[in-house]
């Protein structure tokens, strides 16, 4: 399998509202599997939305590796690679926090975004089951970021302070 090429700004695909998936057929399953593979292969991505691979359909992928500090203490729990189809956020907490976000469509840019810390959402799994999920912390943030993509919204639209968008040089791999 080959990873998808990630669409970058200013592609209009990233600004379009995506369509609901009406039938989870083989085409949708193939796109979803390849999205998971693409997310796994990308070292910087925590989530991926279908518009980012050129498809304006409502599919997102989420996945985060476990991270430990120098003492070996877990600072980020693993979020297994998962596909959510037609995700719909049904509840947002009043409590919000501000964290830096980035995006594979705007590689190297980071900026502070305020979002609710807890959400409820529903979605379909790849085998067509409807699930309801409570998410908090990083998981809640990633789902909100990816659902934004399905509406054509990018994190740079939500910056708490536009002057705080910063560019980080991505080191070229010379090895
Ligand atoms: Co993004």
Q: How far is the CA of 82 from the centre of ligand 1 (A)?
A: 16
Q: Which of 33, 78, 99, 146 is catalytic?
A: 146
Confidence band for 23, pLDDT divided at 50, 70 and 90: very high
Kindly report the pTM of this predicted structure. 0.94
What's the CA-to-centroid distance between 137 and ligand 1, angstroms? Answer: 17
Which residues neighbour ligand 1 (ion) by CB within 5 Å? 103
Residue-averaged pLDDT of the chain: 94
Per-residue b or e along 126-147, where b marks 16 or more CB atoms closer than 10 Å to that residue's CB: beeeeeebebeebbbbbbbbbb
146 a catalytic residue:
yes
Question: Residue 43 — very low, low, confident or very high, per pLDDT cuts 50/70/90?
Answer: confident
């Amino acid at each position: 399998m080959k990873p998808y090429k990630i669409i970058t700004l200013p592609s209009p695909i990233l600004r379009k509202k995506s369509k609901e998936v009406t039938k989870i057929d083989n085409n949708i399953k193939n796109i979803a599997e390849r999205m998971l593979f693409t997310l796994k292969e990308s070292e910087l991505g925590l989530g991926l939305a279908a518009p980012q691979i050129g498809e304006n359909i409502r599919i997102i992928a989420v996945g985060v590796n476990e991270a430990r500090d120098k003492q070996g203490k877990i600072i980020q729990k693993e979020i297994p690679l998962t596909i959510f189809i037609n995700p719909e956020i049904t509840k947002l907490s009043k409590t919000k926090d501000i964290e830096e976000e980035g995006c594979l469509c705007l590689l190297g840019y980071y900026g502070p975004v305020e979002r609710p810390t807890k959400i409820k959402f529903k979605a379909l799994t790849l085998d067509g089951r409807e699930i309801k999920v409570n998410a908090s912390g990083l998981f809640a943030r990633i789902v909100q970021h990816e659902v934004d993509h399905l509406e054509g919204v990018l994190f740079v639209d939500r910056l708490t302070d536009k002057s705080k968008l910063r560019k980080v040089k991505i080191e070229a791999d010379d090895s």
